[in-house]
Copies of this chain bind each other. A is one copy, B any other.
């Protein structure tokens, strides 16, 4: 079988999660012996699995778009269940799909009208720099777009992908699967997980010094996952120049662009930086998703990719690759349309939609602070202050004996710690080693998605377990 697949790791669905799913089954038995009654899954950014409510308007439009007109938009009683703006929007989407409805394959890049809406959204977001709909690909989540660009970019086993350390493991997993090399560039934990182009340049120089490794792509995750930092304009520009100079395709993972919980460091897209500064000779692929933000529609598998500055021949090959998968799911395409075009001022659903969104935003903001402050109050857990995404990535002081034990068992101490935490508290986190970290560091990634009540309890449990872990191994 495929040895690259065997080597591939994907920690967010790895050993700890498998164990958690096993325990969840056992918990259904009345005479289980675990000191808890439920698993709290904080291993993955899956808001609605932890109780976040879907946006009502978005779901109403989605449902109406799927209903055949006679049973939906044209039904005499439709207004009893659906607001007028949802009905109007569904009709608009029906028209856009040209009568094919949601049951047909769309074009390989998605429904043309929705690509237009995405381009308009990007143009408005990026300081008026016009986005061309022919560069928009609607994708099954961001993952599918990332896979297409990396598949196109990597030509041989000498090729490499540069990615932050720590990184979201889709990048290491796909790079491994495609048979290429990983070149990490360290984020600076002491400085809020910041990234500098100097680090990129030195890592690149080191990796390519022997002439064998050719870096073909570089990943920037902004806001960071698992690290939550927001990258500022100057640093982004520096990275763009570096990639342009070296002929490296830049992948900008911007799926958390709406998840910024401070006004001090607003999100700026890489595309805006490129256009504002007329960066030339740069191939940039930017990704967004309906799974994150304030929508959290993970099950929809919606998202888009925008290509900018690609060689037309390479872009044609990416289109061919998209076409071999026929099209992304239409429910995801509809959700992407809604994400980029929520109800407008004056629409019947505008106020209720805004209220739902604001409640989610402020709750995420509160939970982010609650978790960071709560973890920092625990002796031996150190959590960098960050204001983006849905995760924290604390460093944990580990007892030397536990480190030795893990090494003897052929595992990492943070895996031992995460399994121990799970067995004691039911909280499922991902060991930091699954994302990559500095030598000698240990920790975990957890989302701040459990509700505020659960979160308070969870912080108590983190402390309880940490102390017990030290009592056992310290």
Across the interface, which residues of B come within 8 angstroms of A332, CB to CB? 329
Is A44's beta carbon under 8 Å from chain B?
A: yes
Residue-wise interface mask of A (7-19) relative to B, using a CB-CB cutoff of 8 A (1 in contact, 0 not):
0101001000000
Is A116's beta carbon under 8 Å from chain B?
A: no
| Minimum CB–CB distance for A174 against chain B, Å | 8
Contact A155 B103 (CB under 8 A): no
Partner of A46, one of B3, B102, B105, B324: B105
Across the interface, which residues of B come within 8 angstroms of A317, CB to CB? 1-2, 5-6
Across the interface, which residues of B come within 8 angstroms of A325, CB to CB? 140-141, 143-144
Contact B66 A62 (CB under 8 A): yes
Is A151's beta carbon under 8 Å from chain B?
A: yes
Contact B49 A100 (CB under 8 A): yes
Is A420's beta carbon under 8 Å from chain B?
A: no
| A/B interface sample: 23 pairs, CB < 8 A | A1-B152, A1-B155, A1-B314, A3-B155, A5-B151, A21-B107, A44-B105, A46-B105, A49-B100, A49-B105, A53-B68, A56-B71, A60-B71, A63-B63, A77-B80, A81-B81, A103-B296, A105-B291, A105-B299, A141-B325, A143-B326, A298-B326, A299-B329
User: Nearest chain-B residue to A103 (Cβ)?
Assistant: B48
| Minimum CB–CB distance for A342 against chain B, Å | 16
User: Nearest chain-B residue to A44 (Cβ)?
Assistant: B105
Contact A59 B66 (CB under 8 A): yes
18 additional A-B pairs beyond A1-B153, A299-B329, beta carbons within 8 Å, are A1-B314, A2-B155, A5-B320, A10-B320, A59-B71, A60-B71, A63-B72, A102-B300, A103-B299, A143-B325, A143-B326, A144-B325, A177-B324, A300-B329, A301-B326, A329-B329, A330-B331, A331-B331
Is A101's beta carbon under 8 Å from chain B?
A: yes
Is A327's beta carbon under 8 Å from chain B?
A: yes
Contact B153 A331 (CB under 8 A): no
Across the interface, which residues of B come within 8 angstroms of A197, CB to CB? none
